[in-house]
Homo-oligomer: A and B are copies of this chain.
Amino acid sequence: MPGKLPGMKLATLRNGSPDGELVVVSRNLERAVRATDIANNLLAALESWPRAEPRLRALAAALEHGSAKGAIDFPAADVAPPLPRTWQWLDASAFKSHGELMARAFKHDFSDAKPGQPLMYQGGSDDFVGPWDDMPLPSETDGIDFEAEVAVVVDRVPMGTSASRALEHVKLVMLANDASLRSLAVAEMKSGFGWIHAKPATSFSPVAVTPDELGADWRDGRLYLPVRVAWNGREFGRPDAGAMSFGFDELIAHAAYSRSLSAGTIIGSGTISNDDYATVGSACIAERRAIEMAERGAAVTGYMRFGDRVRIEVLDADGRSVFGAIDQRMVAAGTAALP
């Protein structure tokens, strides 16, 4: 059944409630239709996916054919993240070139700790930031960085699920800006307890899409498309997200070794990075600084200032935005424009 229906794109409109209002979005990101007859919000849809999915797909087909009642223009620049909050956000570091550059810069040999295993931390999942919302941060001196990533949303994954069964649980794919405070990161890393201060809220793309909607660009648990990153309007990098050393199948299995993952859990790829960074650039400032240290002996590029913007977007082969763009300013906490 689902194979005969198109894939779909889902988003969340703000409606004053913490979880927002679920909408189905057209493939070209121009139109949307409320799906609240099917599920109040995306988290609720994920918790009842077998029931919700076929109805959402049917609504997506109707929207695509112009027959969906109550369709509206999709306000891509004024939406909540697809999941404004969820039960768990686990973010990996799945790109070898990024890990090697960070290890050199931070003088921290990650790979010795857990040979053959991905690195993964748990971040705050209670207060995500919309794709065009200001990102409120405590201080400009903390080394403010963006991190462009791919993330997947899973349904319930039982403890002990193997990598070979893990991709069945991937329901949606989206982009993330995993903002980081680099000046605080090393000390927290050395504590062994992971990051609390260095990882403020995370932001996600306007829409989350089903894997089948990505066609051949989604395979082996990876998204084989370049992710374009711009800092204050200038291209900063366009590394291919398909270069993960560990696919999402392995990341999900890793996450579920000693815990079951609730429906709605988000798993991130970590900063996208390619071996040919000299050509494609980077998806976070810390990596560019690490390259500068290696090549010139010192980091030249500074971190973000309040008011700086980052834009993260993926275009398909025809140049169309797949997930919509994350495009947001970093601001002092307390001065963020209210969503």
Contact = CB atoms under 8 A, between A and B. Distances in A.
Interface of A: 18, 47, 85, 87-88, 90, 93, 108, 110, 112-114, 119-127, 136-138, 142, 159-160, 181, 184, 187-201, 254-255, 257-262, 265, 333-334
A120 B90 CA distance: 16
Contacts of A120: 193, 196
Contacts of A18: 47
Contact of A159 (B85, B90, B333): B333
Nearest to A201: B259
A75 to B, nearest CB: 25
Q: Which of A93, A121, A258, A334 has the most CB of B within 10 A?
A: A258
A87 B83 CA distance: 13
Contact of A254 (B110, B126, B192, B196): B196
6 contacts: A110-B191, A121-B193, A138-B258, A190-B192, A196-B254, A196-B258
A225 to B, nearest CB: 26
Contact of A194 (B85, B195, B259): B195
Contact of A138 (B124, B126, B192, B257): B257
A258 B137 contact: yes
A88 to B, nearest CB: 5
A128 to B, nearest CB: 11
Contacts of A119: 191-193
Nearest to A262: B126
Interface of A is mostly: loop
A80 to B, nearest CB: 15
A259 B190 CA distance: 21
A190 B113 contact: yes
Nearest to A254: B196
A254 B138 CA distance: 13
Contacts of A259: 124, 127, 196, 200-201
A67 to B, nearest CB: 36
A94 to B, nearest CB: 12
Contacts of A126: 87-88, 261-262, 265
Nearest to A181: B258
Contacts of A136: 159
Given A18-B47, A121-B196, 6 more contacts: A113-B192, A119-B193, A126-B262, A127-B260, A192-B192, A201-B259
A87 B90 contact: no
Report which residue of A184, A194, A199 has the largest number of chain B beta carbons within 10 angstroms of its beta carbon: A194
B194 A87 contact: no
A198 B265 CA distance: 19
Contacts of A190: 112-114, 192
A113 B261 contact: no
A114 B193 CA distance: 11
A246 to B, nearest CB: 13
Contacts of A195: 193-194
B192 A110 contact: yes
Given A85-B87, A138-B257, A196 B122 contact: yes
A141 to B, nearest CB: 12
**9 shortest A-B CB distances, which residue pairs?**
A194-B194, A189-B192, A87-B126, A113-B190, A126-B262, A113-B191, A121-B193, A200-B258, A122-B122
